[in-house]
Structure formats: C-alpha cells, structure tokens
Amino acid sequence: NGICGQPMRDDHNRIYKSLSDVIEGKEGRVRETLLGKRVDYSGRSVIVVGPSLSLHRCGLPREIAIELFQAFVIRDLIRKHLASNIGVAKSQIRKKKPIVWEILQEILDDHPVLLNRAPTLHRLGIQAFLPVLVEGRAICLHPLVCKGFNADFDGD
C-alpha cells in the first residue's frame, strides 16, 4: 500500500491476510480443507531417488500425470483438431495414443506440481517442482531436496 511497515486493512479495520498466511498453519487452506480428504487432481505414491534430475524437477509417473492434467490434454486435443469432442479425446487418452504423451509433455513444461509429505509441519513440507514424465509408479526426487520434506527412500 506504499506505507512501509503498516499492513493494509479492510473497511472493518481488519488486517488483510497475505498469501502465505492463507496457505500455511493449521488454519491455512492446505491443512484445513485439502489434506486428509479426497480431492480431485491429486495423486499418491512413494518416492524413489532420481539423481539425474535437476533440483527443481521431479519425475512424475505417466499414470499420475495423465490424471492430474487430463483436462489440459483434452483441451489441447480438441484445439489441435486431433479430437472432435470430449468423448473422442477421452478415448484417445484411454488408448494411450502417442500423441497424448507428446501433448502431455508440452503441458508439463508450463505447469508446476506441488508435492506434499505428511505431516506438513513447516513450509518446506510442500514444495513446487516442474514435472518430467517417468516410467513406473513412483515419484522421482533429487536426493538433495529430501531434507526439506524430512524424507528418505525407504518407502516414504
């Protein structure tokens, strides 16, 4: 608001919450409404070591990636005239056509994913990564980013 050190207030003189205030803590958006519940566009898997990955990247299994980004893939299949409608696009995804994986890879370049390791006790318990498609069913992480998650590779 241009005044150093003084937080912005609403009409009732209450201080506005910052984005980090809304997200973190027990009453934050993540712990209050998302963790421990069934939510769309989420997946669950064990982590394995991926030393060849950059620190800002994670290996995301194809099965999880297609579930997370299915709406984007359908949109792009229709926009590129590779499918005439949603039903045809979903059918191509189910059949795992090669074009689906190409489109998914394009989408992943622009869309980071949030990885969470319970219990989320501090802000390093949730981190954003740029996903890379990998084979298998486990999420790959560089070993140096595991300290923030307090994770190891014994089934976490």
Nearest-CA neighbor of 93 among 104, 106, 109? 104
What is the topology classification, in CATH, of domain 41-149? Answer: Barwin-like endoglucanases (2.40.40)
The pLDDT of 115-135, averaged and rounded, is: 79
State the average pLDDT over residues 123-131: 82
Asked if 125 and 148 touch (Cβ cutoff 8 Å), the reply is yes
3-state secondary structure of 90: helix
Q: What pLDDT score does 50 carry? A: 86
pLDDT band at 13 (very low <50, low <70, confident <90, very high): confident
Q: How confident is the model at residue 97 (pLDDT cuts 50, 70, 90)?
A: very high
How is the chain split into domains, by residue range? Answer: 1-39, 41-149
**Mean predicted confidence (pLDDT) in 44-72:** 91
> Closest Cα partner for 146 from 137, 136, 156, 138?
156
8 A C-beta contact, residue 61 and residue 138: yes
Collapsed DSSP state (helix, strand, coil) of residue 93? helix
